[in-house]
Structure 1
Amino acid sequence: MRLIHIFFPAVMIITLSAGLTPSKGHNSLFTVGIGAGLIGGLYDGIYPYKSLKAHGDFGLGAPDKLDGEIVVFKGKIYQTQHSGKTFIVDDKALTPFAMVNFFHPDKKITPPQPMDKAILFQYLDSVLSNVNGMYAIHISGKFSYLKTRAFPPVKAHQHTPLADMLPLQQFFEFKDCQGDLIGYRLPPFMDNTNISGYHFHYLSQQKNAGGHIIDLKASDIVIEIDVLDSYTVQVPSTKDFEHFDFKKNREEDIKSVERGGKN
């Protein structure tokens, strides 16, 4: 493994108009694997969850050979498989891609009204006015509707692009549920290493359901925001990674995967 450390002056991360400044302590995002690599088919696990916990107690990612989705919440790591089964992972298991940080909220907000996904993101944009800022976002409370997804597993060294696997994804719908959304809003300059824009995974209050967020209607929520000011990327050293084509433009594939479809 090779480590890339990328640091940015704090003034570039502060959202002055929203009154947001980084909290003292851990403000760094740690990423293992490369986002564009996962989108392009690098699904084999490379990094143990036990080691991932040393870099953060909050975050999201993908499990080994793509069997579902990963969420890191309050120091525990949960996997939601394509069957919908959700459980705490074995520390010895591996992830091909994950991003984590130690969550210390700088701001807590209670939106004044219910909102759907589009309005929620617009609302967050009004609060996170630094378009080049890095933010970890925790949303907790009640949802009148949630739609999530998870991909089925692949075979070892199978590199079918994720966008080509969209017909195989499994969707889960929840009504009048409670739980947590764990996610980030990352800037465009982090594309390829990570995935820019909003990205959330769900974990139910009972810790028995989850998945990547496709759609939602929030009815009574609280939003916590953690401002980040640096990030580190742990680069894989596998043969598959060494021969992967990062020159290919995967922008449309990323958008399709994030929204759960090509249309």
Structure 2
Amino acid sequence: MRLTITLLIATLFTTVFSIPSFTQTPHNRTDTLHNHLYTVGVGAGLIGGLYDGNYPYRLLKQHGNFGLGAPDKLDGELVVFQGKIYQTQHTGKTVEIDDRQLTPFAMVNFFQPDKKITVNSAMNKESLFHYLDSLLTSMNGLYAIHISGKFSYIKTRAFPPVKEHEHTPLAAMLPLQHFFEFSTVQGDLIGYRLPAFMDNTNISGYHFHFLSAQKDAGGHIIDLKTDSITIEIDKLDSYTINVPSTSEFDQFDFKKNRDEDIKSVERGKAAGK
């Protein structure tokens, strides 16, 4: 049996005379569905070496049509876009994958943008994130972000696969990364900006994966330079964590501080490099 933990981010709190909980002004069912982040697995677990798939993609699709994650045994990177799931393998090969396969970690939502902006000026990754900060006004907000258009440069990465039950921490595998570079390319960035209070359960800050317009290339974003892009933003108000029911997860040490490992993995290089 799986344990599911749900947290509702509240702007207004009410007193309830039953089981104590965090809650917020009620939404209708559709609104809640379209503003909800569903996460399979725990971010710190993936960073620490929990790579064995345990949750089927066919079920993941029931919780979102947009998102990102990791494939079983860590062979590359995942993107969920327009209801389809794509895997960029360590070879760079990118394909739509079988719903019967499993993921160790993924986050999805039903994407319904609240805001849409077109930007025709060139930006590198740092200036893009700075610009996004000016749009995402809540420091503690949960945001799903879709960026589509033309890029003069994109650099991505993917990790090679591991053996079953091999738990080498992800930061220790950085020398094994495979990098891919693209010039004058069209495609989509699928990602999130999550708040600091979600660190370890998810991955706080910006996190983007790329999918080319031809759906034949992708990976975790390392660097980029925009040309002309459209930014769509979907502000979320709740999230669920589906906790794995595996022996490896049951014995995993979540007390270890993995902040530096998470930062190193996100930027694709060890601290100080």
Is the counterpart of residue 5 in structure 1 residue 1 in structure 2? no
**Residue deviations 1:42-87 (CA, integer Å, cap 9, x gap):** 0000000000000000000000000000000000000000000000
Question: SS at 2:130's partner residue?
Answer: helix
Distance 2:218 2:109 in 1: 20
Amino acid of the structure 1 residue aligned with 2:160: P
**Residue deviations 1:178-213 (CA, integer Å, cap 9, x gap):** 000000000000001100000000000000000000
Which structure: larger Rg?
2
- Per the alignment, residue 247 of structure 1 pairs with 255
- 1:111 deviates by 2.2
Amino acid of the structure 2 residue aligned with 1:227: K
Question: SS at 1:206's partner residue?
Answer: coil
CA contact (8 A) 2:120 2:227 kept: no
Distance 1:219 1:242 in 2: 46
CA contact (8 A) 1:103 1:226 kept: yes
Amino acid of the structure 1 residue aligned with 2:126: A
Any stretches of 5+ residues in structure 1 without a counterpart? 13-22
Is the counterpart of residue 66 in structure 1 residue 66 in structure 2? no
CA contact (8 A) 2:210 2:221 kept: yes
Normalised by the length of structure 1, the TM-score is: 0.95
Aligned-pair RMSD on alpha carbons?
1.4
Any stretches of 5+ residues in structure 2 without a counterpart? 14-30
| Range 107-116 or range 204-213, more displaced | 107-116
Is the counterpart of residue 259 in structure 1 residue 267 in structure 2? yes
CA contact (8 A) 2:140 2:195 kept: yes
Is the counterpart of residue 169 in structure 1 residue 170 in structure 2? no
Is the counterpart of residue 208 in structure 1 residue 209 in structure 2? no
- Per the alignment, residue 16 of structure 1 pairs with none
Among 108, 111, 122, the residue aligned to 1:114? 122
Distance 1:25 1:231 in 2: 10
- 1:114 deviates by 1.1
- 1:250 deviates by 0.4
1:48-87 to 2 correspondence within 5 Å? 48-87=56-95
Amino acid of the structure 2 residue aligned with 1:158: E
Among 95, 102, 107, the residue aligned to 2:110? 102
CA contact (8 A) 1:10 1:229 kept: no
Q: 1:193 to 1:25 in 2, by over 3 A?
A: closer
- 1:113 deviates by 1.3
- 1:177 deviates by 0.2
Q: 1:11 to 1:226 in 2, by over 3 A?
A: farther
Amino acid of the structure 2 residue aligned with 1:120: L
Amino acid of the structure 2 residue aligned with 1:89: I
- 1:121 deviates by 0.2
Question: SS at 2:240's partner residue?
Answer: strand
Question: SS at 1:110's partner residue?
Answer: strand
Q: 1:215 to 1:11 in 2, by over 3 A?
A: farther
CA contact (8 A) 2:120 2:229 kept: no
Distance 2:135 2:55 in 1: 34
- Per the alignment, residue 225 of structure 1 pairs with 233
Amino acid of the structure 2 residue aligned with 1:9: A
Distance 2:106 2:33 in 1: 21
Question: SS at 2:149's partner residue?
Answer: strand
Is the counterpart of residue 39 in structure 1 residue 40 in structure 2? no
**Residue deviations 1:14-41 (CA, integer Å, cap 9, x gap):** xxxxxxxxx6751000000000000000
Q: 1:254 to 1:220 in 2, by over 3 A?
A: same
- Per the alignment, residue 25 of structure 2 pairs with none
- 1:110 deviates by 1.2
Aligned residues: 254
Question: SS at 1:148's partner residue?
Answer: strand
